[in-house]
Amino acid sequence: MAKVKKMHKKAVAAAVPQPVPPKSALFLNRELSQLAFNRRVLAQAENPAVPLLERLKYLCIASSNIDELFEVRIASLLANNHIDGEKIEETPALSAALEIAGAECHQIVERQYRVLNESVLPQLAAQGIYLLRDQDRNEAQRAWVKSYFDREVRPLLTPIGLDLAHPFPQVVNKSLNFIVELSGKDAFGRGTAIAIVKAPRVLPRVIQLPPELSKDGVAFCLLSSIIHAHINDLFTGREVLAYSQFRVTRNSDLWVDEEEVKNLRQALQGELQSRNFGVAVRLEVAKNCPPHLSRFLLEQFSIAENRLYAVDGPVNLVRLSELIDLVNKPELRFTPYVPAYPPKLVNADLFATIRKHDVLLHHPFQSFQPVLEFVRDASRDPAVVAIKQTIYRTGMNSDLMESLIYAAQHGKEVTVIVELMARFDEEANINWADRLERAGAQVVYGVVGLKTHAKLALVIRREDSGFRYYAHLGTGNYHPSTTKFYTDFGLLTANPAIATEVNEVFIHLTSLTKPKKLDRLWLAPFSLQKEFIKAIGNEARIARAGRPARIIAKMNALLDESVIRALYAASADGVKIDLIVRGACALRPGVPGLSDNIRVRSIVGRFLEHSRIYYFRNDLAHDVYLSSADWMNRNLFRRIEVAFPILDPALKKRVINEGLNPYLKDTSNAWELDANGNYRLRRPRGKTAPFSAQSWLMQLHGNSME
């Protein structure tokens, strides 16, 4: 009877409408979470245990991340404030988002320059690496800089005095420029007071001085410093009253009306030309820029004052990466690591090996070379009749793409799905698409309105038993350069349960017909979110039945509200959930009654964590899925994405033991998220030595030194 009363109370409570918590109580702010990741990157630049030149590199990465935030995310928020180019009244939510993100950006940028000026540059100087400003240079160095300016820089400068005939010039996105205030009158007796000087884009931003002028080490000057020192030389007969370097960040998201254009590639080629002149969203000036000059620039670019950044140093920290490349001091870098080549593939027939068993590759700890060889061997194998591949990012130079071109030229059926809208890689992809078509390949641009982000390659080989399918599925791009410092998994398989469904995905993408029911692969935008939520719900059902339930997921970002709500519900049912989220995370972990059983951590180390792994205990079935998709709305509904299962028990164990468990143990590069959106670096307890997942994986696979 008591049990019946208890059940009745629960039913009554469930029937009474419960107050709906505000959205802000359920989800963390996206922009602040994204910026929190940048703070974790900056922490690497501050970490004395990180080699000095690598610390400078992290500083450059942090600056690049801020650039992209403005070019894409902030630009997108601002674009929502316009209709047909006309500004409309901001909504309170938009105003709040911009204000919060802006305040945090100002703090991060100030911290970047403080790290540069107070820590990195002094320590570089202590190592004999000097970045010399004009006041730091001796007479001999000044003489050399003057000669360099006269010989290499001045001939390329075109100062523009502003008047009715010379309006404010077009300024390229993220380019280096100078605003100059002049006294007196020009050569024609007019009082043109303002001039603009554009720094030549063809010149390096970091210039190395000759060894005999480099003190006891190696000395560099920035192009901006050289122009600063000789800006008076550009205006004969006039006095320079004030000047400042400046840089404008613009909206760099390409847009084409996909319903109207007849040829997406031609439309994008036209858009690429205008990317450098999108709507201005941020202005950077030197810290000592006079207020009236910065106000003048803000007016010219129609930028709000809260998006003005007066910085204590060069306006583009990303360019300091050129200095890193010029310094030959291995002791100031990470110990070189060459990815290990899987022993089972050494001198092996690749297709014969894949026929026997699936091959799992863990990059960058294992070489990407087998993937290149998979496509290269297929292009030369007379038994191979067809190759199909998706391309999202592959770079301007690619052996893999050359192999596809070779295959097409030698009579194989080659189909390549090239994503033309891969942000910042559009030009490279257009060039490859053109070359592939000229070689005779069938080039498809995916599905209009959806980016093809899935990482798939398929080889069809004629064998004694008929056609056999060989597939590669991955979590990362077919870009040999990034595979050296992005962590990703790839699977080579001839298992018909997987490979035949890969072929069905290709048929779907090229024919645009409704995809057949897939038993193994989860495909966005059709079933991916539904399957993820179903798997989360299954763990919740198991927990409610009183059995152990467990979810471990690793991804770049967690923002999809439906997935987050499903995780909250599973947590309330007793599912133990560990999330390894590198970047933005909107889920609040550890909230009593909401997410008690959820822990979130972020790993920021030597390599960029990029793999997406989804583990569901499922009553000891240990379901493991790898994917190109994060738990974000855009991945689940606005992209073609694939999640694929690892079926081989030994390989499942490898993914868990290499891709998940070490990251949950990490006490070196792990940051733990609390319910308020704050990240704290996890430290080892007591006298326990710090544990780094990435270092452990390098040792596991063998550090192949160059």
pLDDT single digits (tens) 341-367: 999 999 999 999 999 999 999 999 999
Q: Are 218 and 128 in contact (CB under 8 A)?
A: yes
What is the rounded CA–CA span in Å between residue 106 and residue 539?
Answer: 43
DSSP 8-class letter at 211: G
Please report, in range form, the residues annotated as the binding site for ATP.
65, 486, 582, 610
Out of 465, 497, 519, a domain closes at 519
Is 508 a known active-site residue? no
Q: Are 567 and 537 in contact (CB under 8 A)?
A: no
Residue-number span of the structural domain to which 686 is assigned: 523-701
How many CA atoms does the CB half-sphere of 441 hold within 13 Å? Answer: 29
DSSP labels, 526-550: TTHHHHHHHHHHHHHHHHHTTS--E
Whose structure tokens read 């998709």?
629
Tell me whether residue 465 is in a domain. Answer: yes
Residues 540 and 668 in one domain: yes
Residues 630 and 531 in one domain: yes
Residues 167 and 205 in one domain: yes
Residues 150 and 106 in one domain: yes
Residues 294 and 435 in one domain: no
Residues 222 and 79 in one domain: yes
Tell me whether residue 21 is in a domain. Answer: no
What is the rounded CA–CA span in Å between residue 422 and residue 433?
Answer: 13
Q: What is the pLDDT of residue 89?
A: 55
CATH number, domain of 394, equals: 3.30.870.10
The total number of structural domains in the chain stands at: 3
Tell me whether residue 381 is in a domain. Answer: yes
Residues 125 and 176 in one domain: yes
Residue 487 phi, psi dihedral angles, 5° rounding: -85, 125
Tell me which of 230, 362, 363, 453 is the catalytic residue.
453
Residues 389 and 363 in one domain: yes
Tell me whether residue 9 is in a domain. Answer: no
Q: Above 80 in pLDDT, residue 10?
A: no
The gap from C-alpha 16 to its chain's centroid, in whole angstroms, comes to 46
Residues 232 and 284 in one domain: yes
Out of 519, 550, 575, a domain closes at 519
Q: What is the pLDDT of residue 480?
A: 84
CATH number, domain of 298, equals: 3.30.1840.10
Tell me whether residue 439 is in a domain. Answer: yes
The gap from C-alpha 340 to its chain's centroid, in whole angstroms, comes to 25
Q: Above 80 in pLDDT, residue 705?
A: no
Residues 294 and 177 in one domain: yes
Residues 313 and 222 in one domain: yes
Tell me whether residue 20 is in a domain. Answer: no
Out of 484, 504, 519, a domain closes at 519
Please report, in range form, the residues annotated as the binding site for Mg(2+).
393, 423
Q: Which of 123, 204, 91 minimizes the C-alpha distance to 156?
A: 204
Whose structure tokens read 């999809």?
560
Q: What is the pLDDT of residue 83?
A: 41
Please report, in range form, the residues annotated as the binding site.
65, 393, 423, 486, 582, 610
pLDDT single digits (tens) 457-479: 999 999 998 999 999 999 999 98
What is the rounded CA–CA span in Å between residue 552 and residue 578?
Answer: 5
DSSP 8-class letter at 556: S
Can you read off the two tokens belonging to residue 286?
Answer: 């030197």
Tell me whether residue 596 is in a domain. Answer: yes
Of the ranges 11-15, 135-139, 246-250, 253-257, which one carries the lowest mean pLDDT score?
11-15
Tell me whether residue 12 is in a domain. Answer: no
Residues 485 and 582 in one domain: no
